Chains A and B, each alone.
Chain A
Amino acid sequence: MEILFLFTMVIGLMMIGVPIAISLGFSSIVVLLMFSDTSLASAAQTLFESFEGHSTLLAIPFFILASSFMSTGGVAERIIRFSIALVGHFRGGLAIAGVLACMIFAALSGSSPATVVAIGSIVIAAMRKAGYAKEFAAGVIANAGTLGILIPPSIVMVVYAAAVDVSVGRMFLAGVIPGLIAGSMLMISIYVMARYKDMPAGEFKGFGEIWDSFKDAFWGLMLIVIIMVGIYGIPGVTNAIFTPTEAAAVASVYAFFVACFIYRDMGPLAGDQPVSLAKRPQAIFTAFWHPDTIATLRDAGKLIITLMFVIANALLLKHVITDEQIPQRITEMMLGYGFGPVMFLVIVNVILLIGGQFMEPSGLLVIVAPLVFPIAIELGIDPIHLGIIMVVNMEIGMITPPVGLNLFVTAGVANMSMMGVVRAALPFLAVMFVFLILVTYVPFISTALPNALMGPEVILN
C-alpha cells in the first residue's frame, strides 16, 4: 500500500513540474511521517549521510570537474580531427568518425547530454557541409552520445556502485567491452547504410595526418590512461595506484594543467596567439585564480549541485523503501509468481525504459537499483552484469520517443523538430535494442574483463 502511494506521489509530483529532487525528498518525508515513527531529524540526518556515508560518491564531483576542464577548449575538435583521420575515408566516414569521437569523448566525460553537445555541435555541421542529410547526422549523434554513460568513467556507474555497494573499479571495467561492442555495432550499421545509400566518403589524408592529429589529441587522450592505469595499475607491473575518487581528483588537476599550460585554451596564456609559459612564468600561479578557472569551477559546481541534490534525495527515498522492507516484499511477490531470470530482466528493462525517458539516469538508478537488486541476487544474476544491463537500458531510454532526453538535446543542438530527430534515430535505436538483448542474455560480455583482471566477484550480502 505504502509503496503504491509513494511511487504515485513521486511520479505525480514530477509530472506537474516539481523538481525531481524535491519530488523524491518530499514524498519520502510524507511517507516517513505517515507510515512510520521516524522523526524529521533522522530524515535530515539521512540527507547528510548521503555524503558522509557514501564516500564512493565523492568521485562524481571530480569526474565532472575533469570533464569540464577538458570541454573548455578545443579538445572535442582535436578528438574529432583524430577520428576523421582514422576512419573518415570509408563510405559514410564522417558519420563513423562522429561515432568514434563520441566514444572517445565518452571516455573523458561521464554524461550523455554533454557528449552530444560537445561532439554534435561540430560533427553535425561538418556532415551537412559534406552533403549528408541533417536527419541522418542528428540520428547518429543522438545514439552515439548515449555511450557517454556506458564507457568508463561514468557517473551513472559510480551511482550504481554506491547504491548497491559494489566496486566502482569493477563497474568501470565491465563497461569497456559492451561500450566497444555498442560503438562497433553503430559504426558497422552506418557503413552498411552508407554503402546501400551511396553516402559520401572523405579522402584518406595519409598516415602523416593520423600521426599529427594523434599528437595534437595526445594530451586529452592521456586523461583516459591516467584514470584507467590509476585505478587498475599496469597488469604485472604495479597494483592499483589510486582509489577511483583519487583518480578522478588527479584527472581534474591534470585536465586543468593541460587546458591552461599545454593546449592554452583557457587561463592566463590563452588568446588568439597563445603565449608561452617561458614568457609569462607567473602564470603558473595566476592560473589558479584566473577568471577562466573560476568560471569552470563554478559551472562544474552548478552541475554537481543539481545532480547530487537529486541523488541525495533519491538516497533518502532508498532509505524509506529499505526501512519499510519494500524490496523484500517485492522479491517475495515476484518469486511467488514464479518469475525466472528471463522474465525478471524483461520487467527491469520495461521499468527502466519508461523511467529513463523522464528522469535523470543517476536518480532513477538510486531508486530502482535497491528494488531489483535483492531479486537479482536471489535469481543468481551477477550484480555487475545487472549494473551494465541497467546502464544500457537507460541509454535506450534516452533515445526512445516520445521524450528521450538525448532526443531533446539533439533536437536543440541541430535546430530540428523533436519528431525529425525521433524518425532519424529510429534505425539506430533498433541497433541499440539488439545490443540490449545481447548484453542482457550474454552476461559474459560484461563480466569477462572485471573477472579476468580483478578475480571473481565475492557477494557479501
Chain B
Amino acid sequence: MSHSETPPNWSDRLEETLIAAILGIMTLLTFANVVARYGFNSNIFYALELTVFLFAWLVLLGASYAVKKTLHLGVDAAVNLAPDRTKRLLGLLVVAICVAYSALLLKGAWDYWAPFANLPPTEGRWFPTGFVEKYRGRGWYETKDIPVPFFLSWLEAVFNNGDEYEKLPKVVPYLVLPVSFALLLFRFVQAGVRVARGEQDLLIVSHEAEDDVARAAEKLRDHY
C-alpha cells in the first residue's frame, strides 16, 4: 500500500461528510420521485436535473479528495519494474503532467463559468494573459426546472440586475467547475511536494478494490 492511514483531520472529515451527504441526497431524491409518482400520482419535476447536478458536484469535488487519498486508478505494472531512482524521477514527471492538466482546466473552467456570473473570461489560448474586455454576461441563463431556494434569493440582485429568477440561474451549478479544478490543482501540488520529499512514489492504485483485497488476504492468512 503506497499510502498510510493517518487519523482524519478537519478537511478529511468535511470532504467525507460532503461525499456521503451528496450521494445520500441523490439517492433519496430519486427514490422520493418514484414514491411521489406511484404513491401520490405526482412528481418532483426538478428531481432529475438536480440529481444530475449533484452527481457532477460529487465527482468533480471528489476528484481532489481522491488525489489526497491516492485513490485514482492507474497502471502500476510498468512503473513497479523501474529502479527506485527512475521511479522517483517518473513520479515527478507524472506530478508535472497532473499539475498542467489541472491548471489548463482551471483556466477553461473559469472561462466557461465567468460569463454566467457576469465576470470576464481570460485571454490567451494556453495561458491566461489577462481578462477579456468585451464579453457578454450570461447571468440571466437559468436551469430548466430547479426552483430558487429561499436562501439564494439574493442571487437576482447580484447577477440579474434585480430581475427575479424563475428558475435557479446556471451560475450556481457551474460554480463547481472553477472550484473543483482549483482544489485539484492544490492537491496535485501537495502531492508533488510529497513525491519530491520521497514520502510517496505513486499517485495511483491499480484497481478500486485494493484496500478490500488487503483486508481479505489478511483474513485468509489468519486462517492458515
A360 near B94 with CB under 8 A, answer no
A249 near B75 with CB under 8 A, answer no
Within 8 Å by CB of B101, from A26, A241, A297, lies A26
A246 near B33 with CB under 8 A, answer yes
B20 near A358 with CB under 8 A, answer no
Distance between Cα atoms of A409 and B216 in the complex (Å): 10
Closest CB pairs A-B (n = 8): A40-B108, A305-B62, A121-B216, A44-B108, A249-B30, A19-B72, A41-B111, A297-B20
Q: For residue B65, which residues in chain A have a CB less than 8 angstroms away from its CB?
A: 302, 305
Q: Is B97 an interface residue (CB 8 A)?
A: yes
Distance between Cα atoms of A366 and B138 in the complex (Å): 32
Q: Is B14 an interface residue (CB 8 A)?
A: no
Within 8 Å by CB of B91, from A17, A48, A120, A249, lies A17
A20-B74, A242-B34, A246-B33 as given contacts; A40 in contact with B105, CB under 8 Å:
yes
B interface secondary structure, majority: helix
A302 near B66 with CB under 8 A, answer yes
Closest to A288 in B: B24
A44 near B20 with CB under 8 A, answer no
Which of B145-153, B156-164, B198-206 makes up part of the contact surface? B198-206
Known: A19-B73, A44-B108, A47-B60. 14 other contacts (CB 8 A): A16-B79, A40-B105, A41-B112, A51-B59, A117-B216, A249-B34, A253-B31, A297-B20, A301-B20, A302-B65, A302-B71, A303-B208, A306-B66, A409-B209
Distance between Cα atoms of A180 and B21 in the complex (Å): 38
**24 A-B contacts, Cβ less than 8 Å apart?**
A16-B78, A16-B94, A17-B78, A21-B63, A25-B101, A26-B97, A26-B104, A39-B108, A40-B111, A41-B111, A41-B121, A44-B181, A58-B52, A58-B55, A62-B27, A62-B30, A116-B209, A125-B224, A246-B33, A301-B58, A305-B65, A308-B59, A405-B206, A412-B214
Listed in ascending order, the chain B residues whose CB lies under 8 Å from chain A are: 16-17, 19-24, 26-28, 30-31, 33-34, 38, 48, 51-53, 55-56, 58-60, 62-63, 65-66, 69, 71-79, 90-91, 93-94, 97-98, 100-101, 104-105, 107-109, 111-113, 121, 125-126, 174, 176-177, 181, 202-204, 206-210, 212-214, 216-217, 219-221, 223-224
Distance between Cα atoms of A44 and B181 in the complex (Å): 10
B28 near A253 with CB under 8 A, answer yes
Number of A-B contacts (CB under 8 A): 247
B73 near A55 with CB under 8 A, answer no
Task: Tell me the count of chain A residues lying within 8 A, CB to CB, of chain B.
Answer: 79
Binary interface encoding of chain A residues 18-61 relative to chain B, with 1 for a CB under 8 A from any of its CBs, else 0: 11111001100100010000011111110110111001011001
Q: Is A70 an interface residue (CB 8 A)?
A: no
Q: Which residues of A from 310 to 365 have beta carbons under 8 Å from B?
A: 310, 312, 358-360, 363
B54 to chain A, nearest CB (A): 9
